[in-house]
Amino acid sequence: MTLGKTITSAKRILRKYTICDWCLGRQFAMQGYGLTNKDRGLALKTLLLMTGTETYHDNPKQGLTLIRHLVEHGQYQPAREFLLKEGITDIKPSQVCDICQGVMDRLPEAAQAAIQSLQDWEISSLLIGTRIDPTIIENEEQLRSELQIDSGEPIKAELNREIGKLVTEEKGIDVDFESPDVVALIQIPKFSVDLEVHSLFIYGRYQKLKRGIPQTRWPCRECGGKGCQRCKNTGKMYAESVEELIAPVLLELTQGKDVKFHGAGREDIDALMLGSGRPFVIEILSPHTRTIDLQKAIKRINKSTKGKVKVSNLRFANKDVVKHVKGGATTSKKVYKALVYVESPIRQDTLQTLQSVSLPLEVNQRTPHRVLHRRANRTRKKRIHTLEIVPVSSKSFELTISCQGGLYVKEFISGDEGRTVPSIAELLGTPAVCKQLDVVTVEIEEDQLPW
């Protein structure tokens, strides 16, 4: 659109609509560079006043009409001053903008509402969003439709940007369009504010040093967590979990609302997690404080768990790390140590045959009976990388297995009534059962995570 066409369009707008500088400039937002829409609208009104005053001297009626539009529809004070200078006093008072209903002139008020809502939250990045009264959107759409204007910017985009600039400048924080700490949603024109506080993610490793503890809170099967006689009104199958042992300290330090626990797989309830521990990410929901001393947190957690669980290597993460930690649970390398009991005494040469089995060994595992209630019934292929056997008695031995994550070790030992093939029981030719299981290693390339 040429400048001449822009001025003509601006004239047509002012002939019919009362419009503020912001809303006039926004209709031509694709023109000019380095200007706010308010600057653009004011510049157009200035050009129209210059046009009107020049016309007024040659054609007073035509020039006066344009200048009156600038005063009565354009809220333009220099045009009012020109009319008064010419002795013209029958000037109608300017009305509120037909498009934004005066909202654009209240941007500092909107910004202060957001700032007030954020005062109790520690944040380093922010994104402003708006929910706008549909009438305001309809007003602008009607104007553009009538005058066939296609060079404008949506009022929502302008409100988000301009309020965001005021808020971030005053608070000294950054705008983040991808992953802000908080999204402040401002209701327009009420200026009430809803906050979407994004989670804080902390990566670490945990060791589980006591059996009988699940990884995460396990709601009672009987009551679904409501509390009943079976669970002694706790709503839980087990009194505590790794999650519940770690979370309280972090919730206190961050003043968070709740947590979600994301592990790189999970060990059985009756298994220990040894070695360097299992990678996990704890997601803290609605944290008021985001900057905490993680070394102090480690000490406090390890003291509070009384030797049941220990954490290490805590560091701040993000939601992409969660995806990699969880996604790699079935592909990463894991090492287990199992105490195996067999039904019939086994000879040394039989154990040697087992230890010399061709590796890597591919195992076909149909979903075990014990997890069918919560897992899809399908066959999974897993690899065994190494097997090491140390005899304990004629009917027991210690088995160390290096394998692909996601292998059901107990079923690899027992065969699970033919659902896992091959199995230790099949290779030995006698029923076998895992009496005790420890996870020794969960490998993950931490330097490859998307920090």
Q: Tell me which DSSP letter residue 91 carries.
A: P
Q: Reduced to 3 states, what is the DSSP secondary structure of residue 438?
A: strand
Which residues are registered as beta bridge partners of 283?
201, 260
CA atoms in the 13 A half-sphere facing the CB of 363: 34
Q: Reduced to 3 states, what is the DSSP secondary structure of residue 425?
A: helix
Which residues are registered as beta bridge partners of 384?
361, 403
**Residues sharing a CB contact under 8 Å with residue 183, sequence separation 6 or more, in sequence order:** 126, 127, 128, 129, 195, 196, 198
d(CA 257, CA 209): 28
Residue 43: other Cβ atoms inside 10 A: 17
Active site residues: 268
d(CA 85, CA 185): 46
Residue 282 CA from chain centroid, whole number: 13
Q: Reduced to 3 states, what is the DSSP secondary structure of residue 70?
A: helix
d(CA 250, CA 199): 13
Sign of CA dihedral 156, 14, 67, 2: positive
Contacts 24+ apart (CB under 8 A), 64-71: 64/88, 66/11, 66/14, 69/11, 69/14, 69/15, 70/14, 70/45
Structure tokens at 355: 């230890």
Residue 45 CA from chain centroid, whole number: 44
d(CA 48, CA 69): 10
- Angle of the 3-16 helix axis to the 37-58 helix axis, nearest 10: 90
H-only helix segments in 240-318: 242-254, 294-304
d(CA 30, CA 162): 17
Phi-psi sector, 284: left (phi>0), alpha (psi -120 to 50), beta: beta
